[in-house]
Amino acid sequence: MTNQLLDTKIEFLKGVGPQRAELLKKELGVFTFGDLLAHFPFRYIDKSKVYQIADITSTEAHIQLRGKITDIQVVGERRGKRMVATLKDDTGEIELVWFKGIKWLQNSVKKNVEYIVYGKPTLYRNKLNITHPELDEVEQSLIANQVTLEAVYSTTEKLTAKGLHSKGIHKIQKNLVGQLTGQLQETLPPYLMDRLQLLDREAALINVHVPQDNEVLQKAIFRLKFEELFYLQLSLLRQKVIKTETIKGHVFDKVGDYFNTFYQEQLPFELTEAQKRVIKEIRVDIGSGKHMNRLLQGDVGSGKTIVALLCMLIALDNGFQACLMAPTEILATQHYESLKELLGDMNVTIELLTGSSKTAARKIIHENLENGQLQILVGTHALIEDKVKFKNLGFVVIDEQHRFGVQQRSKLWRKGKQHPPHVLVMTATPIPRTLAMTFYGDLDTSVIDELPPGRKEIKTIHRFDSSRLKIFGFMEEEIKKGRQVYVVYPLIQESEKMDYKDLMDGYESITRRFPSPKYNVSIVHGQMKAADKEFEMQRFVKGETQIMVATTVIEVGVNVPNASVMIIESAERFGLSQLHQLRGRVGRGAEQSYCVLMTGNKLSADGKTRMETMVKTNDGFEISEVDLKLRGPGDIQGTQQSGLLNLNIADLAKDGQILQVARNIAVEILKEDAQLELEKNYRLHTTLQKLFSSKVNWGRIS
Distance from the Cα of residue 90 to its chain's centroid: 49
CB of 276 to ligand ADP, least distance (A): 9
Rounded Cα–Cα distance for residues 27 and 30 (Å): 8
Nearest alpha carbon to residue 354 among 376, 327, 374: 327
CB of 299 to ligand ADP, least distance (A): 7
Q: Which is nearer to ligand ADP, 265 or 367 (CB)?
A: 265
Helix (H, G, I), strand (E, B) or coil at 332: helix
Q: Which is nearer to ligand ADP, 267 or 667 (CB)?
A: 267
Q: Which is nearer to ligand ADP, 96 or 428 (CB)?
A: 428
CB of 562 to ligand ADP, least distance (A): 12
Residues 445 and 297 sit within 8 Å (Cβ to Cβ): yes
Binding mask 290-319 for ligand ADP (x = CB under 6 A): --------x-xxxxxxx-------------
Residue from 23, 271, 553, 661 that binds ligand ADP (CB under 6 A)?
271
CB of 454 to ligand ADP, least distance (A): 7
- Pure H helices in 130-213: 138-144, 157-161, 166-177, 190-196, 201-209
Stretch that binds ligand ADP, among 270-278, 390-398, 515-523, 612-620 (CB under 6 A): 270-278
Residue nearest to ligand ADP (CB): 303
Q: How many other β-carbons are positioned within 10 Å of the β-carbon of residue 49? A: 9
Beta 393-399 vs 134-137: how paired, if at all?
Answer: unpaired
Q: Which is nearer to ligand ADP, 306 or 383 (CB)?
A: 306
Binding mask 680-699 for ligand ADP (x = CB under 6 A): --------------------
Residue from 99, 269, 464, 692 that binds ligand ADP (CB under 6 A)?
269
E strand intervals along 236-309: 293-298
- Pure H helices in 287-358: 304-317, 329-343
Q: Which is nearer to ligand ADP, 221 or 306 (CB)?
A: 306
Residue count, binding to ligand ADP (CB under 6 A):
16
CB of 300 to ligand ADP, least distance (A): 4
- With residue 618 as reference, give the H or E element that holds it: none
Residues 598 and 625 sit within 8 Å (Cβ to Cβ): no
Rule CB under 6 A: say whether 428 interacts with ligand ADP. Answer: yes
Rule CB under 6 A: say whether 327 interacts with ligand ADP. Answer: no
Q: Which is nearer to ligand ADP, 169 or 310 (CB)?
A: 310
> What secondary structure letter does DSSP report for 578?
H
CB of 426 to ligand ADP, least distance (A): 7
Rounded Cα–Cα distance for residues 330 and 400 (Å): 13
Q: Which is nearer to ligand ADP, 28 or 309 (CB)?
A: 309
Beta 376-379 vs 43-46: how paired, if at all?
Answer: unpaired
Rounded Cα–Cα distance for residues 136 and 134 (Å): 7
Rule CB under 6 A: say whether 403 interacts with ligand ADP. Answer: no
Q: Which is nearer to ligand ADP, 400 or 569 (CB)?
A: 400
Binding mask 584-613 for ligand ADP (x = CB under 6 A): ----x-------------------------
CB of 627 to ligand ADP, least distance (A): 19
Sheet holding 350-353, edge to edge: 350-353, 376-379, 321-325, 393-399, 422-427, 293-298, 444-448
Residues in the chain: 702
Q: Which is nearer to ligand ADP, 266 or 392 (CB)?
A: 266
CB of 350 to ligand ADP, least distance (A): 16
Q: Which is nearer to ligand ADP, 391 or 403 (CB)?
A: 403
Rounded Cα–Cα distance for residues 341 and 349 (Å): 13
Q: Which residues contact 697 (CB under 8 A, 6 or more apart)?
A: 646
Residues 85 and 72 sit within 8 Å (Cβ to Cβ): yes
Q: Which is nearer to ligand ADP, 201 or 335 (CB)?
A: 335
Nearest alpha carbon to residue 217 among 227, 226, 209: 209
Nearest alpha carbon to residue 125 among 95, 86, 161: 95
Residue from 168, 319, 452, 632 that binds ligand ADP (CB under 6 A)?
452
Residues contributing to the site for ligand ADP (CB under 6 A): 269, 271-272, 275, 298, 300-306, 428, 452, 559, 588
